[in-house]
Amino acid sequence: MKILDNKVALVTGAGSGIGLAIAKLYAKEGAKVVVSDINEEHGKSAVAEIKSAGGEATFVKADTSNPEQVEALIKATVEAYGRLDIACNNAGIGGEQATTGDYSIDSWKKVLNVNLDGVFYGCKYELNQMEKNGGGVIVNIASIHGTVAAPLSSAYTTSKHAVVGLTKNIGVEYGQKNIRCNAVGPAYIETPLLESASGDMKEALTAKHPMGRLGKSEEVAELVLFLSSEKSSFMTGGYYLVDGGYTAI
């Protein structure tokens, strides 16, 4: 028996990178997966990939920074599969690079709107549905920058610290309602977002990890799977790093 058999799982930002790896692993472990992304082409490609491997998935386009679209996403999930057992709020952006005093107001608002407001909207509507189900699990994708600084990215650092705080609050508020909520803090991962970085930048980022390499999306997905399953049944309100030792020094 697979560890997510008979479960319905939702993953935002699942068209590529970490989100795609999570959606594929959920499906491999038996879950029916709703793949959501703002990029329709990537989202549909992810569903095709899951189905070709023998999994069950459907695509729902949504902009997580739009509360009405997030509410509709949860409704579409229930319409497709009857319930919502697991949700991974993964969608996020990096934003511009600038010192805090020079950081543009528009960029600040955009990063907070996607990375924080979007996670809140997801949690809000997921929690309401999970209460109807009688329980569920939420995993929020934060970052190592939920605990340490990311110089020249004050909006990103702020948003990820806030996601950790939101996760803790939910863990406490819903602990007696059979709903668990945890956050994952990846370090720098080999994703399409980093493929555009220069060789020098990638070398500098790699050097910050004592393990001497960047992480892989699949390594993050394994931790998310654990936190999404009954193997982590006594874990809630936590923040767990998968960082190659980045935050240890």
Q: Taking the CA atoms of 105, 165, 18 and 187 in sequence, report the sign of the dihedral they define.
A: positive
Q: Which residues contact 97 (CB under 8 A, 6 or more apart)?
A: 152, 153
Interatomic CA distance for residues 92 and 47, integer angstroms: 20
Answer positive or negative: Cα dihedral of 18, 20, 23, 25: negative
Active site residue ranges:
156
Distance (Å, whole) CA 156 – CA 145: 8
Backbone φ and ψ for 24, nearest 5 degrees, come out as: -65, -40
Written as six digits, the tokens of 139 are 């995993």
| 36 within 8 A of 45, measured Cβ to Cβ | no
Q: What is the phi-psi region of residue 10: left when phi exceeds 0, alpha when psi lies from -120 to 50, beta otherwise?
A: beta
